[in-house]
Structure 1
Amino acid sequence: MRILVVEDDRILGEAISQRIGRMGHGLDLAQTGSQANQMLAVQEYDLILLDLNLPDMTGNQILQNLRKKQSNTPVIILTARDEIKDRIELLDLGADDYMTKPVDFGELEARCRALLRRSQGQAQNTIEYGNVCLDLQACTVTVAGVLIELKQREFRLLEVFIGHTGRVLSKETLIEHIYNFNENPNSSVIEIYVARLRKSLQDSDIHIRTIRGLGYLLEKHHG
């Protein structure tokens, strides 16, 4: 998944980025509201962590602009304010959740997982497709109940595929979901990950089909 962190405190922003990055998600960090708006103009995100007190504008303004554009991207507000009226205002503006600083990183990870699940229509920490089951918390995959070994990026790639079943995903779309702005991987990297995923899933009842010139489609085996 691709996550945007908007936080003007460089040390806190980098600490959050490292923690979320270790979960295997693509991640971008903005330290001002204008930086955040520039990124939001060119990139779709699966989740936004938004600080309220930015040097050039408020987080409220970014949130309002986002919702005016009919964006349903989940937003977790990071705030030093802890008054009920502030929380009500944030939720009314379209925030999905909020956390007061200082942030507990374990709780932040859990809330990120919960919102990503909800945005994909999942109620549990596990996602099933065919006889494949992903555990988002443990970052493990089983095929017919048998644990299979996947590297972190392969796990996230499979998560993206299962979160977009029925859709052909281009290499560029897949790159956007699992890499950061500053990484710029070659599209051939995706071919390598897809080849590894296919090999890992060879005993499952799902497969990744190449749609020539367009990308990849996750399907269940028929019959």
Structure 2
Amino acid sequence: MPTTTLLKVLVIEDDPLTASRITSNLIGLGWSVDFAASGKAALKQQQQQQYDVILLDTTLPDMCPKEVYTQMKDEQGSTTPVLCMRTDTFDAPLRHEDDIIPDVSDVRDIIARCQSAVNSSAYSASA
């Protein structure tokens, strides 16, 4: 895999196998990864920690993912890029710094999209 910038990532995923696969691969790159299995836990973690990118599963057990996204972006004023996974159940319009991950099993794509989102976000912040 190509060299990447070390990132701090929040993975919001309720499926333990998917969460484990994603977090293990990101940790293997030397990235710092936090995990939340619910929307409420994710919102709490985001309030306590600054992340470079957030991976948001759109099938959460406790909250509508659109509500989680809206609270992160509007109520908490976050400009952190959010990459939405399993978007067939997600109908919120995404902001320019955000993206969609069409296949959660494609870890290389997840890594590339994380890196791209952070690079785009850094460029926007400096412009």
- Fold shared per TM-score above 0.5: yes
CA contact (8 A) 1:63 1:93 kept: no
Residue 48 of structure 2 is matched in structure 1 by 42
Structure 2 counterpart of 1:19, from 11, 25, 32 = 25
Structure 1 stretches of 4+ moved >3 Å: none
Superposition pairs of residues 65-144 of structure 1, within 5 angstroms: 65-68=71-74, 69-79=76-86, 81=88, 89-90=91-92, 92-94=93-95, 96-121=98-123
CA distance in 2, matches of 1:72, 1:93: 12
Larger radius of gyration: 1
Residue 6 of structure 1 is matched in structure 2 by 12
User: Residue 100 of structure 1: CA displacement?
Assistant: 2.4
CA contact (8 A) 1:64 1:93 kept: no
User: Residue 38 of structure 1: CA displacement?
Assistant: 1.3
CA contact (8 A) 2:85 2:104 kept: no
Superposition TM-score, scaled by structure 1 size: 0.48
From the superposition, tell whether residues 114 and 8 of structure 1 become closer, same or farther in structure 2 (CA, over 3 Å): same
CA contact (8 A) 1:80 1:101 kept: no
Using CA pairs under 8 Å that are at least 6 residues apart, name the structure with larger relative contact order, 1 or 2.
2
Deviations 1:22-63 (A, max 9, x none): 121111010011111110111111100000111100221111
| Bigger strand share | 1
Deviations 1:120-154 (A, max 9, x none): 229xxxxxxxxxxxxxxxxxxxxxxxxxxxxxxxx
In structure 1, stretches of 5+ residues that fail to align are: 123-223
Residue 32 of structure 1 is matched in structure 2 by 38
SS at match of 1:60: helix
CA distance in 2, matches of 1:116, 1:80: 20
Measured on the aligned residues, the alpha-carbon RMSD in Å equals 1.9
CA contact (8 A) 1:7 1:50 kept: yes
CA contact (8 A) 2:43 2:72 kept: no
User: Residue 103 of structure 1: CA displacement?
Assistant: 2.8
User: Residue 6 of structure 1: CA displacement?
Assistant: 0.1
CA distance in 2, matches of 1:62, 1:102: 19
Sequence identity percentage: 29
| Bigger helix share | 2
Superposition TM-score, scaled by structure 2 size: 0.82
